[in-house]
Amino acid sequence: MTSRLNTPVKLGHHMLNNRVVLPPLTRQRSAQPGDIATDLMAEYYRQRATAGFMVSEGTQIEPRGQGYAWTPGIYTPAQIDGWRKVTDAVHAEGGVIFAQLWHVGRVSHNALQPEGAAPVAPSALAAEQAKAFIETGPGVGELMQPPVPRALSALEIEELVAHYAQAARNALDAGFDGVEIHAANGYLVNQFISAHANQRDDEYGGSLHNRLRFLREIVEAVTAVVGPERLGVRFSPLFSGTDQDRVYIGLVEEDPHHTYIEAIKVLEASGIAYVSIAEADWDNAPDLPQTFRQAVRSTFSGRIIYAGRYTAARGAKLVEAGLADLIAFGRPFIANPDLPQRLFNGWPLNALRAEGMYGGSALGYTDYPMYAE
Ligand code: PHB
C-alpha cells in the first residue's frame, strides 16, 4: 500500500520519481553576516534529494521579511550564489527543488528590521501568540513577542508584490526549479487573507475578495516571471500550533472551508502547478475534514500536497483515495535523510533528536545516519 507513494507523478515540467516531499523546514543555519546559504546547507539538502520533490526552507524575499535570526535570504547577489550551491547539490543527485518565498509580515521584531523599525503588516494589529527569534550574541538568541506592526500603504503593497516577482527571478538565477509562495502559518500573505489580521478599509481589506487581492497579485506577478508550471502556493487553513519552546501560531478563519476554497480558486485561475496544505500538526489536532479535501480536489486541477504528522500508510491512503498527489513529511525527514527508501522498504526510522532543530552546526542537521542493513 505504501508503494503508492513510490510511483512517478508529473508536477509542472517535471516527472517526479516518487510522491514523498521534503516540505519547507526552518533550520536557521545561514552564514552571518548576510543570511547566505552555505556548503553545510547544500550537504543537508543533497542528503535528502531522493525525495520526489523538495521545497527549500522559507527564504526571505527582502530584509523586512525576516522573523527569525539566521534564516537565509534570496535578495542579494551573495545569497543567490549561496543558494546555487544547494540547487547544484540537489540536481547532481537527480532531485527537484523549489524555493519557498517567505515574508513574515508582523511576525518579526524591531531587532530584525532595517533601522530597528516596526515590522510591516496589513493592519497595525500585533501577533499576540506568535514569537519572533532574535540574535542576542554569536550563535545564541531569544524568542521575542512581536511588537505592534505598521500598516502598509497601498503603494508599499505594490512594491511588495514586485519584491515577490524579483525574488522569483532570483530563485531561477540560483538554479531553483520553481518557487512556492508561503501563504500559510500566520505570515504576511496569510495576514492579508485573515479577517483577524487584516482590518484594512481599502481594496486589500474587508470582503474576502479584497483580502485575497494580495495573494492574487503575487500569483499573477510571479507567474509572469516563472510560468504557472513552476509555481506552487502553501496554505494552512487550520494551522495553529506550538512546538515545545518554540511558538508558531497560525490564523484560523471563522469559515476556513469557504475562505480557502476561494483562495484555491485564485490558484486555479492562474493554472499553477500545485497547492500545498499544511495541516494542524500538534498532537491530537483535529483532522482536516474530508469534505474540505474533496472540495480542494474538485476546485483545483493541479497537484495537491498534504503535510502534517502523516505516516506512510496514512499518506498512501489519501493518494489511493484520489484526494492527494504527494505527501510531505517534516519531522521524519529531518531525522532520516533517506526517508523515501525507509518508507518504501519498511525500514525503521531514526528518532528525531531535540538538539539542532533550529540553528547551530552539523549536529542534529547533517549527522543523522542513512539506514544500514
Ligand atoms: C518557524 O520557524 O517556527 C516556522 C517558520 C515557518 C513556518 C512555520 C514555523 O511556516
Task: List, for residues 56-91, the tens digit of each pLDDT value.
Answer: 999 999 999 999 999 999 999 999 999 999 999 999
Sign of CA dihedral 190, 193, 197, 203: positive
Residue 4: which region, alpha, beta or left (left: phi > 0; alpha: psi -120 to 50)?
Answer: alpha
* pLDDT for the residue numbered 286: 73
204 noted as active-site residue:
no
Model confidence over 252-304: pLDDT tens digits? 999 999 999 999 999 999 999 999 999 977 766 778 899 999 999 999 999 99
Confidence band of 133 (pLDDT split at 50, 70, 90): very high
Nearest to 72 by CA among 161, 176, 143: 176
Of the residues 44, 45, 68, 187, only one is catalytic, namely: 187
Residue among 187, 248, 279 to mutate when testing ligand 1 (max atoms within 8 A of CB): 248
Ligand 1 atom 6: the closest Cα is on which residue? 26
- Specify the higher pLDDT residue, 239 or 21: 21
What is the maximum span of the chain, computed from C-alpha positions, in angstroms? Answer: 62
Rounded distance from Cα 244 to ligand 1 centre (Å): 13
For residue 271, the 8-state DSSP code is T
User: Rounded to 10 degrees, what is the CA torsion of 90, 226, 173, 44?
Assistant: -20
Residue 309 has pLDDT above 60, yes or no: yes
Q: Tell me what pLDDT residue 129 has.
A: 87
Q: Is 248 in the pocket of ligand 1 (CB under 6 A)?
A: yes
**Residue 248 pLDDT more than 80?**
no
Whether residue 92 has pLDDT greater than 90: yes
Whether the pLDDT of residue 226 is over 70: the answer is yes
Residue type, 67: G
Q: How far is the CA of 221 from the centre of ligand 1 (A)?
A: 24
Distance CA 48, CA 39 (A): 15
Q: Is 266 exposed, middle or buried (0-12, 13-18, 19+ CB in 10 A)?
A: buried
Among 340, 335, 257, residue whose Cα is nearest residue 299: 257
Q: Interhelix angle for 213-226 vs 256-270, to 10°?
A: 30
* Cα-to-centroid distance, 248 and ligand 1 (Å): 6
- For 213, 235, 270, 291, 318, the CA distances from 323, given in Å and listed in that order, are 27, 16, 21, 10, 6
Helices 39-47, 77-92: axis angle to 10 degrees equals 30
For the chain, how far is it from start to end, CA to CA, in angstroms? 22
Q: Is the pLDDT of residue 334 over 70?
A: yes
Indicate the class that CATH gives domain 2-345: alpha beta
Residue 185 in contact with ligand 1 by CB distance below 6 A: yes
Dist CA 344 CA 238 (whole Å): 30
Dihedral-angle region of residue 34 (phi above 0 means left; psi in -120 to 50 means alpha; beta otherwise) = left
**Is-contact 48 42, C-beta < 8 A?**
no
Is it the case that residue 247 has pLDDT exceeding 90? no
Best residue among 25, 71, 185 to mutate for probing ligand 1, ranked by most atoms within 8 Å of CB: 185
Q: What are residue 252's phi and psi, to 5 degrees? A: -110, 125
Asked whether the beta carbons of 47 and 89 are under 8 A apart, the reply is: no
* Separation of CA 303 and ligand 1 centre (Å): 23
Residue 1's pLDDT band (boundaries 50, 70, 90)?
low
Model confidence at 108: pLDDT above 80 = yes
Neighbouring C-beta atoms of residue 113, cutoff 10 Å: 20
pTM beyond 0.75, yes or no: yes
Q: What is the structure's pLDDT at 289?
A: 92
| pLDDT of amino acid 3 | 86
Residues in CB range of 157: below 8 A, 6 or more apart:
204, 214, 217
- pLDDT confidence of residue 244: 60
In this prediction, residues 174-202 reach a mean pLDDT of 98
DSSP-based helix, strand, coil % in the chain, nearest 5: 35, 20, 45
Residue 130: name the closest of 141, 109, 151, 146 by CA. 146
